[in-house]
Amino acid sequence: MRPEASVMHLDLDAFFASVEQRDKPSLRGKPVVVGGVSGRGVVSTASYEARRYGVRSAMSTREARARCPHAAFLNPRFHAYRDTSLKVMEVLREVSPLVEPMSLDEAFVDLAPAALEAYDEPSVRAFAEQVRAEVSAVTGGLTASVGIGTSKFIAKVASDLDKPDGLVIVAAGAEQDLLRPMHVTVIPGVGPATAERLRRAGITTVADLESVTEDELVRLLGKAQGHGLYQLARAQDDRPVVPERETKSVSVEGTYDTDLTDRRLMEGLVSRQAVGVAERLRRSGLSGRTITLKVRLHDFTTLSRSTTLSAPTDAGPTIARLARGLLAELDLTGGVRLLGVGVSGLADWIQDDLFGEQPAGAEEEPLESLPDLPDVRTWLPGMDVEHTEHGRGWVWGAGRGIVTVRFETADSAPGPVRSLPADDAALSPWRPQ
């Protein structure tokens, strides 16, 4: 823990949904849900307008439609999110050379090497507001919630306190006063199962946790977790901000507020994570041979299963198929609190024809990578298109030989909606040059 508040956590608000609202004027201020749009799909991000109806990430699309039927349900456009994220990370690297991206929409920044004359609250606040303004400018108006504290843990807690578009600074010495009234789930690694175990021991707040000895926590939760919670309950976190290093593996994982028990839902989440891994591989010009599935059970037991291919791949359907196969081998009775998919054994080439054929059943999956393929003739809600007569727009929906398109862009007014034949030769997918 540092003597001054010099660690910043920046989190772009409802990132995927905010990018969609930015690029689709007719959706601004309206509920937007991004994720798999089929019945087996899973919500990736919901706009704040949709969250008012109880829609949240990792919820099945079916339930999200029941809660908010009037929302716009869109397939992800990873190229748009990636391009926006790159602009944000460039802003942060201009602030400090020590930037640790955690995902496309969040990063830690070490402000110690930054050009601050002082680390008093007014100076840090003015500096952070300038960063937020620059982020908004380069992203076309997206907002970010920022937390600043003496450690990564405190900065992350602070960034969650005033969402969206908030800025919270926790001064040195004020950490425990902030944490003590909070529920124990504010601490990383305390999910529903661990929280219930603590509740049975009479521990519900961080103040309760702070009053328990380390030996008691180790007996209750095991050595690693007990020791970790003992430290974090006292705001003790010395983890450095580590900038990107040479990539040895690429992975995507998620921890869920409620233990997952529906295997089909978990298959959908694993498929989505596989698509995200494939996107990151392609963005870095990499491919990999070893596909790994990580599962943390309700009792905090962590399982890992891997399979290795004869040649490297960066194909989302292939990674998804193998990851689902690994999932099928596991006993998930009691629930799952974390899922993750990773690829290692990285190379900078792929054997193009080895996985060229789409695996059987892949058409049933919410393959979000489809909008990124320039020759796609499958019209997915949300994807960018261009018409030789009507100009640029995006797919509202498709079916029975018809595709409905709203013709508008980020720089236009809300545009008209037109229904066209799905095989209209004048209509094609659009990607920025």
- pTM of the predicted model over 0.75: no
Which CATH number is 177-232 given? 1.10.150.20
Buried residues in 243-254 as b, exposed as e (16+ CB within 10 A): beeeeeebebbb
Q: Which residue(s) pair with 120 in the sheet?
A: none
Return the domain boundaries, the chain: 1-171, 177-232, 249-358, 373-429
Tell me, what's the pLDDT at 354?
33
DSSP letter assigned to residue 185: G
- Active-site positions read 106
Q: What is the mean pLDDT of residues 200-205?
A: 95
pLDDT band for position 348 (50/70/90)? low
Say whether pLDDT at 310 is over 70: yes
Cα gap 374→380, rounded to integer Å: 13
Q: What is the mean pLDDT of residues 120-143?
A: 96
Q: What is the sign, positive or negative, of the torsion defined by CA atoms of 278, 279, 280, 282? A: positive
What string of DSSP letters covers 76-144? --HHHHHHHHHHHHHHHHHH-S-EEEEETTEEEEE-TTS--S--SHHHHHHHHHHHHHHHHHHTTS--E
Ramachandran assignment for 6, one of left (phi > 0), alpha (psi -120 to 50 degrees), beta (any other)? alpha
Which CATH number is 1-171 given? 3.30.70.270
Distance between terminal CA atoms of the chain?
45
In sequence order, what are the residues at sequence separation of 6 or more whose Cβ sits closer than 8 angstroms to the Cβ of residue 74? Answer: 20, 32, 33, 34, 37, 381, 382
Say whether pLDDT at 210 is over 90: yes
CATH 3.40.50.300 fits 249-358, yes or no: no
Encode pLDDT of 140-167 as tens digits.
999 999 999 999 999 999 999 999 999 9
The domain made up of 373-429 has a fold known as: SH3 type barrels. (2.30.30)
